[in-house]
Amino acid sequence: MEDEIKNLCNVSLGVITSLCCCHLISSRLPKGKWRLLSFLPIFFLFATLPLYLTSAFFAAITAFFITWLANFKLLLCAFDQGPLSSNPTKSLPVFIIIAALPFMIKPKKGTPPPQKSKKLPLNLATEIPVFLLMLAVLTDQKEHVHLIILLLGYCCLVFLMVDIIISLSSFWVGILVGLELEPASDEPYLATSLQEFWGRRWNITVSSLLRQVIYKPVRSAAAEVLGRDWAALPAVLAAFLVSGLMHELLFWYITRARPSWETTAFFVLQGVGVVAEFGLKETLDRKKWRLPWLVRSVLTMGFVVGTSFWLFFPPLIRNGADVRVLEEFRFVSEVVKEKLPESLLRIGRRRGWYV
């Protein structure tokens, strides 16, 4: 574990140094091909960083935060777009934080929209205990749980893990830097269509970056060939294809096994589902039919969860990555439970809370 902590420190140092260079480049070189060419060595370095880590969790986090999201943000920055672009140029600490962590800054508006109350009382105070409880149950009872129940548990763990990681990052950055950030997700389990689930509710940061990096350029190019009305269809499929390839790469960093392309197929299938929804919605609107909210929600979540059972989770289970991640989480939680009371006691004595 000590060696892995050293590896993680070296990777973090490499990320910070690289982003310092990118900040300098973006302030000196104009947008366009020369800035893009200057970023190419950084793109390559960020793609290799997860290979220096042996922990499945740390490799996955580095691949997600840096290899995928940071590279996409820098790609946009090369053309003065995306969250890293601004006039005047962002300060170095803010540039590094936005590039390296998985969130987006909320666009400034004249009047902030009213805060929506959540249908379920899910926040960090409830999500973390639920996550730890589910983790303990799945780790101890994995061999005795039916496969469908296990996969449902994995779906919940993925949602909670992504929400907790992005929410914690946003919480501390909001305190330290004072930026207003987009939420990690918007209750994706309430989505009534695949378009709503993938576009507006699940993992908002990834959706926003894919929209800027893939969807908009492809739609603009396709409009010249197919026309404005049809251009959205190849753009949607391209965005889901790229998402599938990035997830395939992320899984490869974790398992180091030959890709099966099931993960890519999962996301391509979601894209086909979104495209099919366009046509179905137009037909239903023309006939003035509308399914009840509950039916649409059940159909949407049933499609996402069912196809994840079929294509998303099997590559991880087949290569034992799920077991590795569960064991690593369990190890960390036990260390925290063992060390946290002692640390709090030491801090309390130092500050005179008690003798």
List the domain boundaries for the chain.
1-100, 120-184, 186-319
> pLDDT 10s digit of each residue in the chain, 355 long?
677 788 889 999 999 999 999 999 998 888 889 999 999 999 999 999 999 998 888 898 999 999 999 999 999 999 999 888 876 778 888 899 889 988 777 666 544 444 555 666 667 778 888 888 888 888 777 778 888 888 898 898 888 888 888 877 777 777 777 766 777 788 888 999 999 999 989 988 899 999 999 999 999 999 888 888 788 899 999 999 999 999 999 999 998 888 899 999 999 999 999 999 887 877 766 777 777 888 889 999 999 999 999 999 998 888 888 888 878 877 766 665 565 455 444 544 554 544 4
Which pLDDT value is given to residue 213? 94
Give me the residue label for tokens 């993938």. Answer: 198
Which pLDDT value is given to residue 162? 85
Closest CA to 15 of 43, 34, 35: 43
Residue-wise pLDDT tens digits, 219-264: 999 988 888 878 889 999 999 999 999 999 999 999 888 889 999 9
Dist CA 247 CA 241 (whole Å): 10
